[in-house]
Amino acid sequence: MIRLDIFSDPVCPWCYIGKANLDRALAAHPDHPFRVEWHPFQLNPDMPRDGADRASYLEAKFGGKMQAARAYAQVETAAVAAGLEIDIPAIRRAPNTLDAHRMIHWAGLEGRQTAMVAALFRAYWREGRDIGDASVLTALAGEVGMDYSLAARLLSTDADRDDLAARDSETRRKGVNAVPTFLIAQQYVLSGAQPTELWGQVITEIASLPAPSTH
């Protein structure tokens, strides 16, 4: 197996689109060599802990209502091309995602990391749920088969907050400044929402490599 490390944030639309493209390639190549691991990267690390009104946040980020609308028109076009349904008007809050990343980390300990990532993307982009809210996160934990009560207890503490924030900072120090970023075999970097066809080529090329010598 080959490690495919993915640096991502659930509130990043291109991460959602990039995952959909990768998922299609993996489904088309069921013998693919990848073992996927997800890593924390906050698009908005300075977001208040209880989040912010999303419309106001986007207008400030893009320099006005029309500019934000144009940026998200591109997102919607790309999402449709990736076979995704998104509901931009349903999203009312721009959350701080550190708790969501904590949930992804804990899901990984139970072998449910990718399921949790998928649940977070769906909850935010399709259902407009506030993934910075502890009750939403614990509900998602239950939906993917995690221990609901344990997730609730952990979220009520600061468990792993400093560790995940430190991992995020270390990732930035190593040169990752945008997501999604994909690290293949701890050597090769792909940035951005790569098309399914490219992932298919990568998988085919890896399969054609000679097996490592056992001598």
| Domain housing 92 | 2-208
Residue carrying structure tokens 């056992």? 214
Domain count, the chain: 1
pLDDT in tens, 18-48: 999 999 999 999 999 999 999 999 999 999 9
Residue 96 lies in a domain: yes
The reported pLDDT for the residue numbered 211 is 66
Supply the angle between the helices 65-81 and 54-62 in degrees, to the nearest 10: 100
Residue 213 lies in a domain: no
22 C-beta neighbours (distance < 10 Å), count? 25
Burial class (CB in 10 A: 0-12, 13-18, 19+), 77: exposed
- % of the chain at pLDDT higher than 70: 98
Residue 52 lies in a domain: yes
Residue 114 lies in a domain: yes
Q: Which residues pair with 182 in a beta bridge?
A: 6, 190
Residue 41 lies in a domain: yes
Share in percent of the chain as helix, strand, coil (round to 5):
55, 10, 35
Residue 214 lies in a domain: no
The reported pLDDT for the residue numbered 214 is 52
pLDDT category of residue 212 using cuts at 50, 70 and 90: low
Residue 215 lies in a domain: no
The residues near 16 (Cβ < 8 Å, ≥ 6 apart) are 10, 79, 84, 86, 121, 125
pLDDT in tens, 187-200: 999 999 999 999 99
Strands 93-94 and 52-53, by their bridges, are: antiparallel
pLDDT in tens, 82-126: 999 999 999 999 999 999 999 999 999 999 999 999 999 999 999
Q: What is the largest CA-CA distance in the chain?
A: 63
Residue 11 lies in a domain: yes
Residues comprising the chain, all counted: 215
The reported pLDDT for the residue numbered 100 is 98
The domain that contains 14 carries what CATH number? Answer: 3.40.30.10
